[in-house]
Amino acid sequence: MKQFTEVLNIANEFLYSKFLIILLIIVGVYFTIRTGFVQIRLFPDSLRVVREKSHEEGSLSSFQALMIATASRVGTGNIAGVSTAIVMGGPGALLWMWIMAVIGGASAFIESTLAQVYKERDGKIFKGGPAYYIQRALGARWLGIIFSILLILTFAFGFNGLQSYNISSAFEYYVPNFAQSNVPMVIGIILAVGAAVLFFGGTHKIGRVSSVLVPIMAVLYIIIGLIIFFANITYLPQAMKEVAAAAFDWDSIFGGFAGSCVVLGIKRGLFSNEAGMGSAPNAAAAANVSHPAKQGLVQVLSVFIDTLLLCSTTAFIVLLTNQYTVGGELNGIPLVQQSVASVFGSAGIHFVTVAICLFAFTSLIGNYFYAEANIKFISENKIFMFIFRILAILMIFVGAQNDLETAWGLADVIMGCMATVNIIAIILLGGIALKVLKDYQEQKAQGLDPVFKAEKIGIHNTDLWK
């Protein structure tokens, strides 16, 4: 087991410090240029389109699909990951997170637009994602199945176990001898029952719950962040000066590049908002819109919500309360708890606990949504689906009681492989998304509310846009 763990660590180091991080940056910059900075240029359209209602009763709206994607993107990494990046890499990591959010927005647009173009009907809603556009546009069902298996293993069995554990461990502060008590098992039962209600309730129920929980979660966390921001606003100029200085302190950066603010900021930005990695398109495909580019634009919002709003909230909580030390031992969730407590007292610790639970629970249901779409890609057999749901619920129950570090390390490696498959696919198919964007812009220029007809721009292998 020790040797296996060492191999996982080596694989993770290669994927996330070298190969994948470079690939995601290159693809993000490439699509930013090819789309003419669509994530910035058409940002007002993103805000307008997200308010559009669904065109069919019982289907998911743009906003609901956005909330499902945001539910999965937003997790404990927005709290623990950001504070750790600042402690380990310095305050300059924040600026590099922002840069990655802007660059990643273009990749998110491309993959989510493709997911809309090649989606399929699933009762009153739709299903789709990388597996579907790999099969329909590239004619490689075998590769789509590989992608689906990788995603299911990552999100339903890896990350959902981790999020369940994060919820459970958030209560350690309140229970002496927590690990030896029955509390983890009780929490596991509660989470498993809640998950079962949603998993067996259908994807429309997940959409409704996400559209309520995610905004509440985000708004509450941002409000706390704003209170801390204004309570410490006199320190803001100094904090921003430190961010800018550290972000471009080239001697320090290249002296310890692997642990620098550049690498840690880029990694946190990319792997928090998941742009280009093939996860969010599974939610984007579910929306009922009149033009694929509309949901592509809406998914850009999810990247910005995750990084520019929620990650930044954590960063300012840590920076403005000045409770951190670069290279210090205090980081992650304890650092955020101490930072909030410096303003709100012990009530701040309770709030962070609630925030962790909300962030992690919404990730549970968002991750499951992704996995179900890919189970259906492999097989529509109802018994197969029933077994999958039971196993997914069981993983949540087990995860709440066990620190499955090796399993989660394996999930990281599998996600790296999954992201690589998706990146190859969107590079090959990016031209299609660019055609869709051009069609959207031409109709807008004519004063029309864009309506998509696939054959008009030479796309013939989709059933839903005729």
- 296-310 confidence digits (pLDDT tens): 998 888 888 888 888
125-127/120-122 β-pairing: antiparallel
- Express as a percent the part of the chain with pLDDT over 70: 86
pLDDT for 255: 42
- If one counts the domains in the chain, the total is 1
pLDDT at 252: 46
Residue 464 counted as domain residue? no
- Considering the entire predicted model, what is its pTM? 0.86
| pLDDT value, residue 292 | 92
Q: Does residue 424 form part of some domain?
A: yes
Q: Cβ distance 450 to 294 under 8 Å?
A: yes
Distance CA 193, CA 98 (A): 38
119 occurs within a structural domain = yes
pLDDT tens, position by position, 346-381: 888 888 888 878 878 888 888 888 888 899 899 888
Instruction: Give me 454's structure tokens.
Output: 């696939």
Q: Which residue has better confidence, 415 or 5? A: 415
In a domain, 466, yes or no: no
From CA 139, how far away is CA 130, in angstroms rounded? 12
> Within 13 Å, how many C-alpha atoms sit on residue 66's CB side?
28
Residue 149 lies in a domain: yes
Position 93 in a domain: yes
Confidence grade of residue 76 (pLDDT, cut at 50, 70, 90): low
Find the mean pLDDT for residues 146-172: 84
Residue 462, in any domain of the structure: no
Euclidean distance between CA atoms 424 and 418, whole angstroms: 10
Q: Are 187 and 396 in contact (CB under 8 A)?
A: no
Whole-number Å distance between alpha carbons of 185 and 31: 46
- Residue 466 CA to residue 464 CA, distance in Å, equals 6
What domain range is 160 assigned to? Answer: 2-457
143: CATH? 1.10.4160
Residue 150 included in any domain: yes
Q: Determine the pLDDT at residue 253.
A: 45
Mean pLDDT, residues 217-235: 86
